[in-house]
Structures are given as structure tokens and as C-alpha cells.
Amino acid sequence: MRKFFLFLSTNKKVEKLAKKHGLKLGAKKFVAGASIDSVVKAATKINEQGFLATIDCLGEFVSSEQEAIAATGNCIDTLEAIHASKIDASLSLKLTQLGLDISEDLCFNNMTKILEVAKSYNIFVQIDMEDHSRNEATLSMFKRLHDIYKGTVGTVIQSYLHKSLEDVNELDHYNASLRICKGAYKESSEVAFPNKKDVDENYMNLVKTHLLNGNYVGIATHDSTIIDQLISFIREEKIQKEQYEFQMLYGIAIDLQKKLIQEGYKLRVYIPYGDDWFGYFMRRLAERPANVWFIVKNLF
């Protein structure tokens, strides 16, 4: 089932068909809406409940310079909305929506435009990690931008990749703020661990390594067992709460989110919005069978 939904996430014909029905298929559980107003409203509600937010203006894999420029404008508009509404939120984005596949220079120029605005408003920007074929280019772009916008930009490491521990140790030289997640793309066993047990073990190792190196970590998981183990580790090592936060996706594991907030932990909710929701939605269905069951109940 996971492979099926990951296949659908990149199928343009299915995407076109799905978008005829808009968000009615059940994506509204995971996506705040199509407009900036909808995501500001969702983030405001999240803040009122004690959560931080990161807003993702959905988009990826653009194929023209015009699309990349338009996506850059959308990201800047999102920063303007965060500032104007005074919500406590950061911005998440993907480099392929800003033209990475077209030209690295185009992507870099678009990122500098976004980061100039983010820096002026003191809003943090996280560069999401995409599939393995873009991994090195994403890390290279992060390092290039970090030299100019240190403290304003971070990136993401995925624990299902074999190379991730090497990347974490390399990024220690940059004191990088990292979101560490498991990974949600279809990858071959040559580059990624095929078994969940190995992905989970690597996840624990990556978070512990980056924390012990003295760097900031966004612990992005809904796995309660991993969370409990990491809380024990954090207590044993006397790691300060200023050095980490938990991160979860909008609409998923809400009870666990509330539990962590009640226990005094910092938790940031990843809230996506926009018209380009299909790929994101399919990856959420691929991750958890419970998500699929929710959609089936919605339809019938």
C-alpha cells in the first residue's frame, strides 16, 4: 500500500483528476486550505492551544522559471502574512518549487529574496528535504545560504537514508538547526534502509548525535515509543529545553501533541496550505494505514 500511494504522489494524471474534487477527498484533515487566510486562521488556533507552527506553502518540482518566480512570491507573501498577523510561526519550503531542478543559481537567487524578508522579520526558514536525487544539491544550497543567513535558515535530515549520520556530523561544522524526520519518499535499498527497525535506530542515533554536538534539533516524529526514549535520554544527559522541540504534522496524532504540551514540552505543528496539495496528501496516506481508513470513512 505504501508503494502504491508513493507512486500516485508523482502521477500527474491522477493528480489532475483528484484536483477536480479539490480538498473534498479528505486532504482537509492534513492541509489547512488553499489560501493564506486559511493557514493564518489554522496557525492562530494552533498558537492559542499552546503550539508553535511552521507554515508550508505547498509546491514542488516546478519546470519553468516563471513557476519558480511565482512560488517565490507565494513564500514571501506567506512571510508577510506571518508578520502581519503576529502568529508564532516559521516557514518551510522545498527547493524544487523555487527552481532547483532548472538552475541552482535561479534557486539560490529566489532563496535570497525569501531569506532577506525572513531576516527582516526575524522569521526562521526551514529547507525541507526531498528525495535522494536532490539530497546533495539541497545540502549544498543550505551550506551556501547558511554562510550569509546564519540563524535564519535550517534544513532537514531523513533517517531512512544510509548517508544521514555522515551528513549530521558534517553539518555540525555549521551548528545547523535541523529537523530530523524518517523520510517519506520512495527510495531504493541502495540508498535507504528498507526495514522500519533500522530507520528507527538510525533516527535515535541522529537525534542523539546532533543534541550531544550541542546543536538545535526539531524532533519530527509521531512515534510515541521513540519520543519516550528520547525524553529519557534528554533527561539523563541534562539537555536544556532551549536546544530542542518536538514537531508533528497538522491533523495527525493530536492527542499525543496535546500530551506533550501539557507536560511542558515545546511542540511545533507543520501546517501546509495551497493548491499543490496532492503529492503531500499521498505521502501522508503512504505513511500510515490509519490515514487511509480516515479517508474511506470520509468518502462513504
What does the pLDDT read at residue 281?
62
Q: Which three cell numbers stand for residue 96?
A: 524544487
Q: Alpha-carbon distance 84 to 187, whole Å? A: 40
Identify whether 179 is a catalytic site residue: yes
What pLDDT does 284 receive?
A: 59
Give residue 169's pLDDT.
Answer: 98
Q: What confidence score (pLDDT) does residue 275 get?
A: 76
pLDDT at residue 49 greater than cutoff 50: yes
Query: Which listed residue (56, 101, 128, 276) is catalytic?
Result: 128
The more confidently predicted of residues 25 and 92 is: 92
Give the model's confidence band at 298: pLDDT under 50 very low, under 70 low, under 90 confident, else very high: very low
Q: Which of 241, 247, 115 is nearest to 178 (CA)?
A: 247
Helix (H), strand (E), coil (C) string for the chain: CHHHHHHHCCCHHHHHHHHCCHHHHCHHHCCCCCCHHHHHHHHHHHHHCCCEEEEEECCCCCCCHHHHHHHHHHHHHHHHHHHHHCCCEEEEECHHHHCCCCCHHHHHHHHHHHHHHHHHHCCCEEECCCCHHHHHHHHHHHHHHHHHHCCCEEEEEECCECCHHHHHHHHHHHCCCEEEECCCCCCCCCCECCCHHHHHHHHHHHHHHHHHCCCCEEEECCCHHHHHHHHHHHHHCCCCHHHEEEEEECCCCHHHHHHHHHCCCCEEEEEEECCCCHHHHHHHHHHCHHHHHHHHHHHC
The type of residue at 281 is F
pLDDT at 86: 98
Q: Is 77 a catalytic residue?
A: no
Cβ–Cβ under 8 Å, residues 55 and 89: yes
Q: Which three cell numbers, joined as nine digits, stand for 271?
A: 501546517
Specify the amino acid at residue 178: L
Tens digit of each residue's pLDDT (9 = 90 or more) over 236-270:
999 999 999 999 999 888 999 999 999 999 999 99
Segment 175-213, tens digit of pLDDT: 999 999 999 788 999 999 999 999 999 999 999 999 999
> ∠ CA 216-234-258 to the nearest 5 degrees?
85
Q: Which of 56, 101, 131, 179 is catalytic?
A: 179
pLDDT tens profile 54-107: 999 888 889 999 999 999 999 999 999 999 999 999 999 999 999 999 999 999
Is there a contact between 96 and 64 (Cβ–Cβ < 8 Å)?
no
User: How much is the mean pLDDT over the chain?
Assistant: 88
Distance CA(87)–CA(122), nearest Å, equals 12
pTM: 0.87
Rounded to 5 degrees, φ, ψ at 24 are -70, -20
pLDDT at 11 over 60: no
Q: Which of 267, 299, 272 is nearest to 283 (CA)?
A: 272
Answer yes or no: is pLDDT of 33 > 70. Answer: yes
Residue 17: pLDDT above 60? no
Task: Write out pLDDT tens, residues 139-184.
Answer: 999 999 999 999 999 999 999 999 999 999 999 999 999 999 999 7
pLDDT on residue 94: 96
- Give residue 10's pLDDT: 52
